[in-house]
Amino acid sequence: MNTFNITLSSKIGIIGSGAMGSGIAQVAATEGNEVLVYDNNEGALIKAEANLKSGLLKLVDKQKITQDKCDAIIKNIKFVSALETFSECNLIIEAIVENLDVKKKVFTNLEAIVCENCVLASNTSSLSITSIASACKFPERVIGIHFFNPATLMPLVEIIPGIATDERLAELCKTLILEWKKVPVICKDTPGFIVNRIARPYYGEAMRIVEEGIADIATVDWAMKTIGGFKMGPFELTDLIGHDVNYVVTETVWKEFYYDQRFKPSLLQKRLVEAGFLGKKTGRGFYNYKEGVVQPSSDENTEKGKLIFDRIIAMLINEAYDALNLKVASEEDIDLAMTKGVNYPKGLIAWSKEIGLENVFSTLQNLYDNYKEDRYRPNILLKKKRLSF
């Protein structure tokens, strides 16, 4: 039986020196862990080290941390170009490209270097942990530890045991994440895990509303912010995330759920990706961010806004109940994930009780009756729960 040792005294290895890998390294080093950051690109390593130091110095200037703390964090992190330096690590977190074959190869290579008790974790946002672990001689030590971007600021961390993962490992990882002052939730190894699964209708249903000509993008964004209390509307948010990222996640979840219509991607978004209009980072997405461009105004009709909000929130709540029904995570962790992972104003299960389960069910049933699409079918648990309130 393996004796896993992952504590604040453990040596942590990070594979990938990009924004996510460097961010995770900073989180661990801030709480006192010795961290090694590996990348096979020497230039990327040099850039990552410079960015880390620059970012920490800015925090000192803003009096968010002291100079002594800054120095301690920098001292705790070493940037390395040889994977063999990970031989004494207790935990390794991979944060590289979302490609299953590449991840499997990395994990296979790691097993030839590390001891049997070293925990191997993936920061994947959409790939199967069980599938990644299948490449390993000891799949019981493989787990998902999914941070959200930027890792230094976003509190949520999804912990995902695969089918073969040692049953003790999720709780050990949860304890460590709490010591890193993050908010851990444990979920099943299913496509999209909690957040990227449940959040799909926030984007997909908003795009459907625009495609049907019910409202334009500015009006949908206004409705979700003003009536729903969301910090960003769905079109603003996808522009910020980047359509190359957001569309691929939607497409991956759709395919992994055997093309379930609830997750069907939008042609509207696909065309943006094809055009290279990827959002803020390219200067154009749903909105045009070029200097001097006047942004479209919204139709601030409260009745229309309420219809938009009711439709999108009902779809989100339906997904939350589907995840709960299939034991993807507990009710508490589902609500925690959506408030801490994507900054929703309220947890969706709690929100459903506030709106009224009968009202949510009626909205979904009306959509289903009108469209006759499985996309709008009310979840069985939502049906049952509404009768008990």
What's 241's domain CATH number?
A: 1.10.1040.50
Same domain, 308 and 221: yes
Q: Which residue has the tokens 């964004």?
A: 221
Q: So what's the pLDDT on residue 249?
A: 92
* Same domain assignment for residues 202 and 146: no
pLDDT of residue 176: 97
* Cis amide prior to 150 (ω within 30 degrees): yes
Shared domain for 180 and 321, answered yes or no, is no
Tell me what pLDDT residue 349 has.
Answer: 98
Same domain, yes or no: 179 and 285: no
Which of 136, 162, 186 terminates a domain? The answer is 186
Residues 315 and 235 in one domain: yes
pLDDT over threshold 60, residue 285: yes
In a domain, 5, yes or no: no
Q: Are residues 241 and 364 in the same domain?
A: yes
Residues of the domain holding 300: 196-387
Q: Which of 144, 166, 186 is the last residue of a domain?
A: 186
Expressed in angstroms, the distance from the first to the final Cα of the chain is 47
Q: What percent of the chain has pLDDT over 70?
A: 99
Does one domain contain both 168 and 207?
no
- From the list 176, 198, 203, the residue with the least C-alpha distance to 188 is 198
pLDDT above 80: residue 388: no
- Asked whether residue 44 is assigned to any structural domain, the reply reads yes
Q: Is the pLDDT of residue 250 over 60?
A: yes
pLDDT tens, 143-189? Answer: 999 999 999 999 999 999 999 999 999 999 999 999 999 999 999 99
On whether residue 191 sits in a domain, the answer given is no
The DSSP output letter for 262 is G
Say if residue 240 is in the same domain as residue 373.
yes
Would you say residue 1 has pLDDT above 60?
no
Work out the average pLDDT over 188-213. 97
Do 318 and 377 lie in one domain? The reply is: yes
> Which CATH number belongs to the domain containing residue 158 in this structure?
3.40.50.720
Is pLDDT above 70 for 389? no
Does some domain include residue 53? Answer: yes
How many structural domains does the chain have?
2
115-154 residue pLDDT tens: 999 999 999 998 999 999 999 999 999 999 999 999 999 9
Residue type, 291: E
Domain final residue, candidates 186, 207, 233? 186
- Same domain? For 164 and 38 the reply is yes
Quick one: average pLDDT of 318-333?
98
Q: What is the pLDDT of residue 131?
A: 97
**Phi and psi angles of residue 374, each rounded to the nearest 5 degrees, phi first:** -60, -20
Domain shared by 56 and 113, yes or no: yes
To the nearest whole percent, how much of the chain has pLDDT over 90? 96
Is 251 a domain residue? yes
CA of residue 271 relative to chain centroid, distance: 24
The residues annotated with a catalytic role in the active site are: 125, 146, 158, 196
Judge whether 2 lies within some domain: no
* 229 and 165 in a common domain: no
